[in-house]
Structures are given as C-alpha cells and as structure tokens.
Amino acid sequence: MAVRKILMLKKEGKIWTFLLENDVIAEIHCSLPDSDQHRQPVLGDIYIGKVKNIAANIGAAFIEIAPGKECYYDLSQAPQAIFTHKIGKKPLCIGDELVVQISREAVKTKAPTVSSNINFTGRYAVLTTGNTRIGTSGKLPRSLRDTYKEKLSHLKNEDYGLIIRTNAKDVPFETVLEEIQKLENACVKLKETAPFRTCFSCLQEAPPSYITDLKNVYADGLSAIITDDPKLYQQIHGFLQAEQPEDLSKLQFYEEQLLPLSKLYSTDIAVERALKEYVWLKNGAYLVIQPTEALTVVDVNSGKYSAKTKRKVRKRI
C-alpha cells in the first residue's frame, strides 16, 4: 500500500498542492488564492441565473450569472431545473430565473458551462439533484457496493440521488451516513432560501481547489499534510477541524529554515519537468504535449526504444 503525503506551498501568489506516494511526487495542482474583489466564477459555484437567449437549433440556452457574464446551458436539463422566477409555460423561457451550478469553467474564448444538476460533494458521498438513483464508485469492491445500495435504499426519493465515493471503503457506514445527512441539509437549505434571493446571487461558493484536493485524496494510506505557510496552515486546520477531524492529527507545520520544504522534496524540479513539452518514458519512448484552443495534442514517439517488430513497439509504448 502506498504511503501518501500532501504538501501545500504558497509561491509567487499561487498555491501549489503536491501529492506524494512513497515520497515521490505523483500529482501537482496549482490554484490562485481566493480574492473576493477579483474572484471569477469557478467550478462548483452555485448562482441564480437568468435566461438571456435560447438557441433551440443547437439545443442550448445562454444564461447570465452576472451582468454580461453568459454561460452555456443544455436545454435537456430544463425539466429538472429549480426556478426562482418562472415566466412562461414552456420548459424554459427568456427571462426565467433558475438555480445553476458551474459545471465547466471558461477556457480562453469559450464561455463557462452551467447545469441544473446541482451537486453537493463530500469526502465519502455526492448528493445530486439531477439523478435520483443511488450509485457507487466502480472502484469499490462489488460486495461493498451491494452493501451500500442495500443499506441506503431507504433514502431513495424523487428529490435527489446519491453517489458513494471510493473513500467510503475505509470508514464505518455511520460516518458516511452522517456526511449524507449534512449534504441533505445543505441541499434543503439552498432550496428554501433560493426563492428569496435576487437574480445573480451566488448561493454557494465552491471551496478553494486546495481544499477540494484534501477531500479528493484517498484516505487510505494518507500519513501527513504538510505546509510551511502560517496562513495556509490556519485555513487547512479550520477545514479539517470542521469537515475532516479524523485527519487533523496529520496536519504538520514545517518550520526548518535551513532546508525549505520546496528543497526537501524538490518541488521546483518536479514543476519544471511537468511543464516541459517533451516527456521521456521509462522505456525510452517520449511524448510531445502541445495544448491548442480546441484540445491538447499528445504525440507518441518511439525515441530510443527499439524492438524486433513494429507490433512490439506499439504494444510496449
């Protein structure tokens, strides 16, 4: 079993999260600190939006979540929408006001995408208003998936569904049930307060991405959460104390001045390698990664790898 650590560093106005497995950096995430003054809509934010335009020919609508800030919306989601102000009898009309969640952030010239499928995400479960079934992560053992579906069958209803996450395999059922109750309370509260809020109100801000990283990391094998920034330490401590008390003892503040945390784990070198266009593989082949506006192109090259047949080369790479 891999021993996992999380490093969180603040550098050049950005927060860097490094996931280590057996002291080797396996994942790198980068985010900007929250700033209420300049904050842009991010994945998971929930707003009261207003329908600005409907393009039936492409099955889409464009919804404003702030003056001049239009988002793409799939018309097929209209029947499950939570409306705060409805104008016509059609499923969706220009001027309708409804609750939407950012499901995809803006990319260059492309507008953000919003959804009526409102998700409330915890560490062990996700509550969703767009699908009323009870599902489980495919990474859970079959026997455990069946157990969760049986034990949670009494919660099935027409208002929301549940998805049990992979992390649920390492905790008692009561812990998962307790989190589901919190998510349900958050959903009920949002539905009750939304009709009394004005258009363009942000009903719920998504947590900072470095906090999301703490939720998403596998609990199994997590040994330490380390940071050398005092403010970041306090923010992480507050989150763990409220949401993940079982991990609070793993939080560590690194104070060694002679050997900075970034030097100890060679984080700068890891970032430099990750951003390179060329990525060498262990077998001698290499990748060329080039982002474009529409997609990211990955070119696979045999490089220094040699084999007797082309078939072996393709299979090995």
Using DSSP's 3-state secondary structure scheme, residue 67 falls into coil
Task: Count the helix, strand and coil residues of the chain and give each as a percent rounded to the nearest 5.
Answer: 30, 35, 35
All CATH 3.30.420 domain ranges in the chain, comma separated = 4-34+208-265
Q: What is the CATH number of domain 4-34+208-265?
A: 3.30.420
Asked if residue 183 lies in contact with residue 26, where contact means CB atoms within 8 angstroms, the answer is no
pLDDT in tens, 112-141: 999 999 999 999 999 999 889 999 999 999
Q: Which CATH superfamily is domain 35-207 in?
A: Nucleic acid-binding proteins (2.40.50.140)
pLDDT at 304: 67
pLDDT in tens, 2-49: 789 999 999 888 999 999 999 999 999 998 776 544 567 889 999 999
Asked if residue 189 lies in contact with residue 196, where contact means CB atoms within 8 angstroms, the answer is no
| Alpha helices, DSSP H, located in the chain | 142-151, 173-193, 209-216, 230-243, 261-264, 267-274, 310-316
pLDDT at 170: 82
| pLDDT bracket for residue 257 (50, 70, 90) | confident
Reply yes or no on whether the pLDDT at 213 is more than 50.
yes
Reply yes or no on whether the pLDDT at 267 is more than 90.
yes
Q: Closest Cα partner for 214 from 241, 182, 196?
A: 241
